[in-house]
Amino acid sequence: MKDVMILTGAGQIGMAIARRMGHGMKIVIGDKREENARAVAKIMNEAGFDAEPVVMDLSSRQSIENLIGEAKKYGEISMLVNGAGVSPSQASIEVILKVDLYGTAVLLEEVGKVIKKGGAGVTISSQSGWRMPALTAEEDELLATTPAEELLDLPMLRKSNIGDTLHAYQIAKRCNEKRVMAEAVKWGRRGARVNGIAPGIIVTPLAIDEFNGPRGDFYKNMFANCPAGRPGTADEVANVAELLMSDRGSFITGSTFLIDGGATSSYFYGPLKPGK
């Protein structure tokens, strides 16, 4: 038996974190597309890791529970890397809320029930959650603490109150940050920690398609007018995750770290500010 890492979402960021932290562990990779999970497992196994692909749908509690059950066959779950999700250009309002908001809440809740003492988790959020106008304290608390099965019934999450898919994505990512805070309290009772990472534009195969697509000029403008002057890499996100998931981050829990090359700063106080 080994310590087990659960990796949800077979993408570049999740794989970079798993490669950084998953040595000597069993890595159970869950993705809605079996071919994606198998492809990442193959890459990792051929690099000396011990990875197992599993079909997993983040929008389904049953699927999440099945993934955790599969992981427990190999040992105690000591790490979670949640990189699963959909983007505003990929899905409808309903799907974004069901996957990115509800699914992440369920995953953090269920893993938190079984995480090993000394364990750690990270969930990948987005810079988008930082660009929404502030919510009220009551709204923040509802996003943080409402039972997962009741989240999508909140008036603020009704389709009539969501402007478009970007708004749905932003509020889902805001909810991720609030759930991390609330779940950190529960994970702490087991001697474990959980944090979030909110990346900006990170170069991945999907991102490259976006750069060369209809919104390419939007991204190029963001790169040119953020302090870093460029997009980020998956390994740079993994640098932050390594701190958060290692003993060096043992006093860090319930936090979400923005890693966007300063794009959000520029959005509020620089050349990316709307209207400039």
Q: Which residues are catalytic?
A: 169, 173
Written as one letter, the residue type at 183 is: E
Please check whether residue 115 is in contact with residue 187, taking contact to mean a CB–CB distance below 8 angstroms.
yes
The residue count for the chain: 276
Residue with tokens 């990792």: 44
For 147, the enclosing helix (H) or strand (E) is: none
How far apart CA 44 and CA 36 sit, in angstroms, is: 12
Written as one letter, the residue type at 269 is: Y
Please check whether residue 168 is in contact with residue 102, taking contact to mean a CB–CB distance below 8 angstroms.
no
How far apart CA 80 and CA 100 sit, in angstroms, is: 16
How far apart CA 144 and CA 198 sit, in angstroms, is: 17
Residue 113, classified by CB atoms within 10 Å of its CB into exposed (0-12), middle (13-18) or buried (19+), is exposed
Backbone angles phi, psi at 235, to 5 degrees: -65, -30
